[in-house]
Amino acid sequence: MLFPTFTFLIFFVIVFVLNWMTRQKPVLWKIVILAASLVFYGWWNWRFVFLLVTSITINWFCAKKMRDESVKLENFLVRRWMQTAVIANLSLLGVYKYYDFFVLEISNRLKQVGFDMGLPLLDLTLPIGISFFTFQAISYVIDVGREDIEPLSLLDFAVYLSFFPQLVAGPIVRASEMAPQMATRSDPRYLQSAAAYRLILGGLFKKVVISSYLADVIVQDVFANPASYSSLDIIIGVYAYAIQIYADFSGYTDIAIGVALLLGFRFPQNFDSPYRAKSLQDFWHRWHITLSAWLRDYLYIPLGGNRGTSRRLYINLMLTMILGGLWHGNKGTFLVWGLIHGLALVLERIISERFNESQIGTRFSSRIWSLIRWMITFHVVCLAWIFFRAPSVGDALSMLGGLFSFRFGVELVTSTLLLVILGAIGMQFLSKEVREAFQAKANGVSAPNQAVLFALGLVFIDWLGPDGVAPFIYFQF
């Protein structure tokens, strides 16, 4: 079930009414939300509901056993149950996401040396959102094992893991953020409707209008056949894709956060103007923030983080980003995407350790130095996006070849396209004060007028957008 559809609108209106009718009766409310979430997830393929229920059961059971053992002070058994849960989660993810890839690779290598094992392919359909709810499940069992949180009841955990606004594409919400909100009996009189409407309309505009426009006008054509276009078309196509994936993904999470807010839940921020970053480290503090925090807390720090030697730190950074790339899929393009970010992060560390940035900056005015840092960061990110978007590493290299072929001429670039790209980048530099002032004015509008403006906004977005809605990019992960 896609957010920008009439089907979801009807679904959400029903859930919204039931949510606030039952919120003062905790058990009934949890049953209603769990049922709604399963319907939402099963709308694509009802068989996937069994996978979600399996994940809920395994992780809840392992977390319960961990706490049972911790009461007996059997730390060894606690670790074993934690490892069991993590392995089970990664196994489910691995079978659906990577099994066929590795079987094909192994079969091809064996054939090269004269063996044909005939290894079976499962040809499984990738369940929507499996990476997101798997990461949430892993964070839960690890947090329980570390005694950072108390285990949830089976019903509470089922609601947490399946909660439909963030189920299929994030943000990655932790149990420590969700559980306290489930325990409160929110009052609809204090609903933050203005903020929710702003997030939903902004997310829809980014997805339905901006992302769709850029994909149709230039991105699809340039990435499909870079040899047919000039260097200028290609570079603008790369910039356009950088904006498209931001508008698509941040648009989805904005809608998710807004929908959750209408149900009385506050989700963590997932994007914070990432294209204004002046370093790769800053970029990852702004892009897909909940994934960045997950990788930091459950991968980078357990690997050793910045403890130990500089060499160990560099290895930890590289491993984290490579695994972050492979989380997106089994293609070599995602591996290269992770490698580019890992190498850039390591290079930043080396430069900061060997050179004093303030001394480098004194050779330029502060504004010029900030501009240089921003341009370098933005173009490293765009370089990585080429591999992320391209069907294969070879196609990505063809894009780079076309980019540096210095073929002249313009076929796809228009003034409207440039205006959209520049406007989207410019919006990243709006100050926090301006955004807060706008939200304050929105909060001052009466509830009936908010509803009218929201409806008008939906009509306007529908008028600007194309017929039909393309699937969100991150649904495939």
For 149, which DSSP code?
Answer: S
Helix, strand, coil percentages (3-state) for the chain, rounded to 5, are: 75, 0, 25
Residue in the block written with tokens 């993810």: 93
288 a catalytic residue: no
Q: Looking at 285, 328, 341, 379, which residue is catalytic?
A: 328
| Dihedral angle sign, alpha carbons of residues 295, 299, 305, 310 | negative
Residue type at position 121? L
Residue type at position 352? S
Q: Where are the alpha helices (DSSP H) in 113-209?
A: 130-145, 154-162, 175-183, 193-204
Strand, coil or helix: 53: helix
Contact residues for 44 (Cβ-Cβ < 8 A; gap 6+): 1, 128
Residue 469, class by beta-carbon neighbours within 10 Å (0-12 exposed, 13-18 middle, 19+ buried)? middle
Q: Would you call the peptide bond into 171 cis, given omega within 30 degrees of 0 as the criterion? A: yes
How many other C-beta atoms can be found within 10 angstroms of the C-beta atom of residue 179? 17
Residue 182, class by beta-carbon neighbours within 10 Å (0-12 exposed, 13-18 middle, 19+ buried)? buried
How far apart are alpha carbons 28 and 26 in whole angstroms? Answer: 6
Q: Where are the alpha helices (DSSP H) in 113-168?
A: 130-145, 154-162
Q: Would you state the structure tokens that stand for residue 171, as one six-digit string?
A: 């943000």
The angle, 0 to 180 degrees and rounded to 10, between the axes of the packed helices 130-145 and 154-162 is 140
Q: Do 374 and 278 contact (CB within 8 A), yes or no?
A: yes
Residues assigned a catalytic role: 328
